[in-house]
Structure 1
Amino acid sequence: MDKIRIVGGRTLNGTIPISGAKNAALPLMIAGLLTEEKLTLENVPRLADVALLQRILGNHGVDITTAGKRNGDDPHAGQTLEIDARAIVDTTAPYDLVSRMRASFWVIAPLIARMGEARVSLPGGCAIGTRPVDFHLDALRALGADLEIDAGYVVARAPKGLQGGRIVFPKVSVGATHTALMAAATAQGETVIENAAREPEIGDLAACLNKMGARISGAGTATIHIEGVPRLRGARHAVLPDRIETGTYAMAVAMTGGDVTLAGASPDLLESALDTLRQAGAQVEATNEGIRVRRNGAGILPVDVETQPFPGFPTDLQAQFMALMTKAKGNSRITETIFENRFMHVQELARLGARIHLDGDTATVEGVERLTGAPVMATDLRASVSLVIAGLAAEGETLVQRVYHLDRGFERLEEKLARCGAQIERISS
């Protein structure tokens, strides 16, 4: 099992290219099921989750090819995928595949929209109502789908097609909004989604669907209107830059000091997080290339944050920001309002010398003068990269184990950081 070795204490200087957003690429790939024509996606990141979703879609008969690979191509540039779903051969998404990635559950929407039926496993470890799969199902019911749970599978039927309707989410859900958009695009009549997620990835999916012939307005607001169309056609669409990767590297620069340009990043996608970094003492400015982040020798200032749906502070940057606050000059409070059990990185940060006290959904971080390198264990994707950020500033050697979590969401992380002066390497076992 691979490990990442870091010797801390070096500032970061240079340029880091920002990849396409994983959280946008996955629903865009799934949207390819909605059309018999070819969907071409540019700027797709090379990640383990993308490769896994290719396998899952292949199980349904989708042919996915990587286009335009040439000798000399920049390995950090996104790949182009051509998705051909003209022949869907199976409407069942089995447990052994869906259990490995929750987002694959979203195939239920395009399958029932196009084929009139779907049999999709519930995600592994999911009781309905936790990270609410029930919101997805309620959205499909609102559009006329007949649903039942059979031996751990959702069996969905709409033999006469889906019908437009009104969907009101009791709580903002990005995944359920993706499901509703894909299901409603070809439903008969008009659909209104209320309390929709406003994340940029929702807008990116809507933009791609509109290129395919959908009629969607209001994406990026709390109310989305969809006028169903009989069919969707092929299109070409570029995945937007990854705001979570952007914020992660911005926090790494704030942690270590230095001067880094995040090439291709869009500041509009994470204004709240960038404002928080400014409050912590980093200099952040938009440039023609992307975003420039700097911090001189001045100390890190403590800042209180509370995770919120977009446009608030992202839950997917909470662990990284906690790592930054471990070296702040004072105490900070971080409140997690989106997901339970998202403080699993706390005990591992403590191994590096961090002082963090948990009280329910709030962590109080007491800044320390120094962190010291140690062996640590990654528990999930965002937690694992928080350990990398802490290791970059810790004295001595930090060894991060279980880095397969990182490979799910960060493309060539150690290479990008090493190009900016970090002493970091992957050790293959």
Structure 2
Amino acid sequence: MSGLLTVEGGTPLTGEITVRGAKNFVSKAMVASLLGEGPSELANVPVIRDVDVVADLLRLHGVTVDHDRDGGVLHLDPTDVESAHVADIDAYAGSSRIPILFCGPLLHRLGEAFIPDLGGCRIGDRPIDYHLDILRSFGAVVDKRAQGIHISAPRGLVGTKIELPYPSVGATEQTLLTAVRSRGLTELRNAAIEPEIEDLIAVLQKMGAIISVDTDRTIRIEGVERLGGYRHTALADRIEAGSWASAALATHGDVFVRGATQPEMMTFLNTFRKVGGAFDVRDDGIRFWHPGGDLHSIVLETDVHPGFMTDWQQPLVVALTQAKGLSIVHETVYENRFGFTDALRGMGATIQIYRECLGGLPCRFGQRNFYHSAVVSGPTPLRAADIEVPDLRGGFSHLIAALAAQGTSRVRGISIINRGYENFMGKLEALDAKVTMVDSAVAPAV
């Protein structure tokens, strides 16, 4: 999947695909298994690169991992957890940001943890300072070394009070995974409350944790001495479902996303309808289609849950290039998420980006010189182009643009998309997309 993808655009996507468990939850539930003193079973697991990375990291620490890839079931047995060699862990430096979440569980199980240099999509300043400060507040000792970060807990971990400056998903996950076996009570204020966080809390509760969530974004965790395993079915990936919905809209298509669920997507569905898209919620999934006629321009702000998810923004912007009038998009979650629009402008889209907050309220990026607002003027015909995938969500958005454009586009770097979209080539073929993979050894440079 490291070669060149040729995309003959201009054909509506039609047909049915299936989405399985959310990437942003499954990997965290896998890490949570480290906390248990018995085996765990996680169902509805997608076959994606991020799952493979976490599985390999767990194996390095002595966890037995058995992945039924066809059935989508993971069996995880942490009975023989042990310290991994630094060189082995370092081999995963740059491939994922998940290793930072191993800290709390490993401190409880082994008394120490090592974290290599962290990777992930380059979409903004996603520092690990939140994580390290959280671990220190529980009593951990953080030692920054040339190879990475060594963390120890010579006196064990003790519950604490934390107030996040921003409801960060990663910082909330770190707190949960550390607090459940720390001595005493932990209180986390201004916590993230995304559906993936709620599902992680459900997993931890099944393991024996005591966690309550208040309506003011306060989470309280009463530490327990030991936890068991869990059996759980992952919630559906609302990001992937929204991506295929936007693809259907941008290409004038009709796509049934089996496995998609309404509760986690209500905010997206409202926006999809305002733009002019149509959908039908069924027991086994959601059908998305372009009903004909003009799409409508909108004013949109991304936000933490229950707001409009930042990961839905990029694919929807592609559809907004085909909407009549001026659409305004204010990105308040990641400061550098409009870099993907450069390629769209090269394909004929009319998009201008601004430093100013163009939404209803100023945000934390408004005075920091970041281009975090966009004005999209449409409809503009898109034309084929040569594209280099920049990151996971931006890359899928570029693919949507190529599918909507007239002519044949060449897309390089699509292996990045494997991090979060299961069997996306097979799904494209199932939707009658005209795509062809060219081997990297014979593919000309873009």
* TM-score for the superposition, normalised by structure 2: 0.89
CA contact (8 A) 1:98 1:105 kept: no
Matched, 1:416 2:418: no
Q: In the TM superposition, what whole-angstrom CA distance separates every residue of 1:226-261 from its partner, at most 9, and x where no partner exists?
A: 111111111211111001001001111111223322
1:397-416 alignment, distance < 5 Å:
397-416=408-427
Counterpart for residue 43 of structure 1: 44
Q: In the TM superposition, what whole-angstrom CA distance separates every residue of 1:90-133 from its partner, at most 9, and x where no partner exists?
A: 15664431321112221111111222222223425999x94131
The answer to which of 113-122 and 47-56 deviates more is: 113-122
Counterpart for residue 298 of structure 2: 303
Aligned length: 420
CA contact (8 A) 2:125 2:335 kept: no
CA distance in 1, matches of 2:380, 2:345: 14
CA distance in 1, matches of 2:146, 2:328: 43
Counterpart for residue 229 of structure 1: 224
Counterpart for residue 211 of structure 2: 216
CA distance in 2, matches of 1:124, 1:300: 38
Q: In structure 2, give the amino acid aligned to 1:136.
A: H
Q: In 2 relative to 1, CA 419–130 (structure 1 residues): closer, same or farther, beyond 3 Å?
A: closer
Counterpart for residue 56 of structure 2: 55
Q: In structure 1, give the amino acid aligned to 2:436.
A: E
Give how far 1:273 is off: 1.8
From 357, 366, 373, the equivalent of 2:377 is 366
CA distance in 2, matches of 1:297, 1:44: 35
CA contact (8 A) 2:100 2:131 kept: no
From 70, 73, 79, the equivalent of 1:86 is 79
CA contact (8 A) 1:197 1:221 kept: no
CA distance in 1, matches of 2:237, 2:322: 26
Give how far 1:409 is off: 0.8
Q: In structure 2, give the amino acid aligned to 1:84.
A: D
CA distance in 2, matches of 1:56, 1:140: 20
Q: In the TM superposition, what whole-angstrom CA distance separates every residue of 1:167-190 from its partner, at most 9, and x where no partner exists?
A: 111111111111110101111111
Matched, 1:17 2:18: yes
Counterpart for residue 34 of structure 1: 35
CA distance in 2, matches of 1:97, 1:281: 43
Matched, 1:326 2:318: no
CA contact (8 A) 1:105 1:122 kept: no
CA contact (8 A) 2:4 2:413 kept: yes
Q: In 2 relative to 1, CA 166–119 (structure 1 residues): closer, same or farther, beyond 3 Å?
A: same
1:184-263 alignment, distance < 5 Å:
184-218=179-213, 222-263=217-258
Counterpart for residue 362 of structure 2: none
Give how far 1:369 is off: 3.5
CA contact (8 A) 2:97 2:120 kept: no
* TM-score for the superposition, normalised by structure 1: 0.92
CA distance in 1, matches of 2:251, 2:349: 16
Give how far 1:152 is off: 5.2
Q: In structure 2, give the amino acid aligned to 1:379.
A: P
Give how far 1:420 is off: 2.4
CA distance in 1, matches of 2:14, 2:177: 42
Alpha-carbon RMSD across the aligned residues, in angstroms, is: 2.1
Counterpart for residue 359 of structure 2: none
CA distance in 2, matches of 1:241, 1:92: 35
Partner SS state of residue 410, structure 1: coil
Partner SS state of residue 216, structure 1: strand
From 155, 166, 173, the equivalent of 1:160 is 155
The answer to which of 393-402 and 364-373 deviates more is: 364-373
CA distance in 1, matches of 2:214, 2:46: 23
Partner SS state of residue 296, structure 2: coil
CA distance in 1, matches of 2:192, 2:342: 32
Q: In 2 relative to 1, CA 381–124 (structure 1 residues): closer, same or farther, beyond 3 Å?
A: closer
CA distance in 2, matches of 1:150, 1:412: 38
Q: In structure 1, give the amino acid aligned to 2:129.
A: D
Q: In structure 2, give the amino acid aligned to 1:159.
A: P
CA contact (8 A) 1:121 1:152 kept: yes
Q: In structure 1, give the amino acid aligned to 2:389.
A: A
* Unpaired segments ≥5 residues, structure 2: 355-370, 441-446
Q: In structure 2, give the amino acid aligned to 1:83.
A: L
CA contact (8 A) 2:301 2:330 kept: yes
The answer to which of 384-393 and 334-343 deviates more is: 334-343
CA distance in 2, matches of 1:411, 1:297: 30
Counterpart for residue 425 of structure 1: 436
CA contact (8 A) 2:94 2:118 kept: yes
Partner SS state of residue 9, structure 1: coil
Identity of aligned residues (%): 38
